[in-house]
């Protein structure tokens, strides 16, 4: 016995068969760094239906690109498109940080500060945040000065930390007010002459 398909079902199945499967293009280095800086990298991988996992892993592992190491590390740490593996995730974050990726340095500094994924270690937090701050990472600069204000780190680093944060450019009024407060508190720990020197144009 021959079964006839309804015309609407037949046409819809034909049109679905004709639709080409579009491949998601791999992110350029600058595009990925932009996504990382906006904390949108994991959302983008999810939005791309996890199609690029193998390419991301290859660029992190074989090509050792720091932005891809950071991305893959975050994917592993938070089980985005891959099975969760915190140890391996932090390993890749550290690889990216060792190559000087500011976002990786800031994130590891933050994690050591609060004890997220790793054991809390304020000295390690200062080490990572100092490197990120030197690159102009504002979040790292603010957290570093806050740690110094709490009594962590070395007074020898106060001048650099003050200088970096003082010369940062911030449009947000609330952030600007917070920076003023952080700097005022740090200035209390420094001689006036050192504060004046740190305020000189860079």
Instruction: Convert the chain into a string of H (helix), E (strand) and C (coil).
Output: CCCCCCHHHHHHHHHHHHCCCCCCCCCCHHHHHHHHHCCCHHHHHHHCCCCCHHHHHHHHHCCCCHHHHHHHHHHHHCCCCCCCCHHHHHHHHHHHHHCCCHHHHHHHHHHHHHCCCCCCCHHHHHHHHHHHHHCCCHHHHHHHHHHHHCCCCCHHHHHHHHHHHHCCCCCCHHHHHHHHHHHHHHHCCCCHHHHHHHCCCC
Which of 140, 106, 147, 99 is closest to 123 using CA atoms? 147
Structure tokens at 74: 């975050």
Stated length of the chain: 202
Give CA–CA dist 72/107, Å, rounded: 14
Look at residue 22 in the predicted model and tell me its pLDDT: 61
Give CA–CA dist 85/160, Å, rounded: 36
Look at residue 25 in the predicted model and tell me its pLDDT: 84
Look at residue 23 in the predicted model and tell me its pLDDT: 63
Q: Which residues of the chain have pLDDT under 50?
A: 1-17
Radius of gyration of the chain (CA): 24
Give CA–CA dist 81/76, Å, rounded: 8
Identify the residue whose tokens are 């939005």: 47
């Amino acid at each position: 016995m021959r079964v006839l398909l309804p015309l609407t079902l037949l046409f819809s199945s034909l049109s679905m068969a004709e639709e080409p499967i579009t491949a998601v293009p791999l992110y350029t280095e600058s595009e990925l760094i932009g996504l990382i800086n906006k904390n949108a990298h994991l959302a983008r991988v999810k939005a791309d239906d996890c199609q690029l996992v193998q390419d991301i892993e290859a660029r992190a592992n074989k090509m050792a690109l720091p932005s891809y190491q950071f991305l893959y590390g975050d994917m592993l740490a938070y089980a985005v498109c891959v099975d969760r593996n915190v140890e391996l995730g932090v390993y890749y974050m550290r690889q990216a940080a060792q190559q000087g990726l500011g976002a990786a340095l800031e994130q590891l500094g933050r994690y050591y500060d609060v004890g997220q994924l790793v054991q809390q270690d304020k000295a390690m937090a200062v080490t990572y945040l100092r490197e990120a701050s030197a690159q102009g990472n504002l979040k790292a600069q603010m957290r570093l000065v806050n740690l110094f204000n709490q009594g962590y780190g070395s007074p020898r680093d106060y001048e650099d930390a003050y200088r970096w944060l003082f010369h940062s450019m911030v449009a947000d009024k609330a952030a600007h007010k917070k920076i003023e407060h952080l700097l005022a508190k740090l200035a209390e720990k420094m001689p006036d002459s050192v504060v004046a020197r740190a305020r000189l144009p860079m």
